[in-house]
Amino acid sequence: MRILFLGDTVGRTGREAAASALPGLRQRLGIELAIINAENASHGFGVAPEMAEALFAAGADVITLGNHAWDRKEIIPYIAAHNRLIRPFNFPPGTPGAGLATVALADGRRAVVANAMGRLFMDPLDCPFRTMAGELAKHRLGASVQAIVVDFHAEATSEKWAFAHLFDGQVSLVVGTHTHCPSADHTILAGGTAFQSDAGMCGDYDSVIGMDKTLAAARFLRKVPGEKLHPADGEATVCGLYVETDDATGLAKRCEPVRLGGRLSQTLPHV
């Protein structure tokens, strides 16, 4: 299975760049499963229903969220009715929406996409490690499903690596989101799970992790609350990860970064 994961979409410029690039990437790379994190799509904070609809229309199969999942309150009834928009599964029981989505491909193959959130320097949610183990008891990689992808939305690189090693061989891909900086550690672990500690963002990199650099830098200088942060609006870089899996095992055969447009060095897999 050919899988494309695009990192945190930040503001208008990020979501428009992702929506514009996604159809071409699907065709050029032969993508069969496309996932995008959109928790920063609305002015950097949350996602609105019409924004999710635009990303689905552009070719996203599943949209994941994170710590800004509920910043746009109108997403609450929408997520309850749309099972391909998912939030971290380790939110407490009773939280609207679901933490996993099952996608059926046209040829009958099935993939599970899961969204988890770390706890180091983040909100004190349920344990993502124990919760993930419970969810994996319901799905058998290479048997009941041909791929399992986990968006691990976390601050600490150590927590992301620990999560990936713990579930190595049990999932196809663990990819980190939240820090917005594409890491250079994309790899296939010993047990066959693809991993990158952060996919990067779809947003303007002439910024402070996607937000206007002048306002963000001033907060560090003065330590006084000022104007509300808003996303930078220059040309965006679309950042993500491309993974190919073996349908017989569900494990990764190939793992390569994607960077398209904007200020960062460009890279696309050759297929």
DSSP, res 40: B
Collapse the DSSP code of 157 into the 3-class scheme (helix H, G, I; strand E, B; otherwise coil) and give the result.
helix
Task: Identify the sign of the CA torsion 134, 138, 143, 147.
Answer: negative
Task: Identify the sign of the CA torsion 109, 55, 70, 4.
Answer: positive
DSSP, res 166: H
CA distance 38 to 6: 9
Q: Which two tokens stand for residue 185?
A: 């550690």
Which residues, in sequence order, are CB contacts of 169 under 8 Å at separation 6+?
189, 191, 192, 193, 251
Known catalytic residue: 68?
Answer: yes
CA distance 258 to 182: 9
**Of 43, 68, 139, 165, catalytic:** 68
Phi/psi for 191 (5° steps) reads -85, 0
Neighbours of 122 (CB within 10 A): 18
Collapse the DSSP code of 21 into the 3-class scheme (helix H, G, I; strand E, B; otherwise coil) and give the result.
helix
CA distance 17 to 235: 8
Residue in 243, 234, 235 with CA at minimum distance from that of residue 199 = 243
Q: Which positions are catalytic?
A: 68
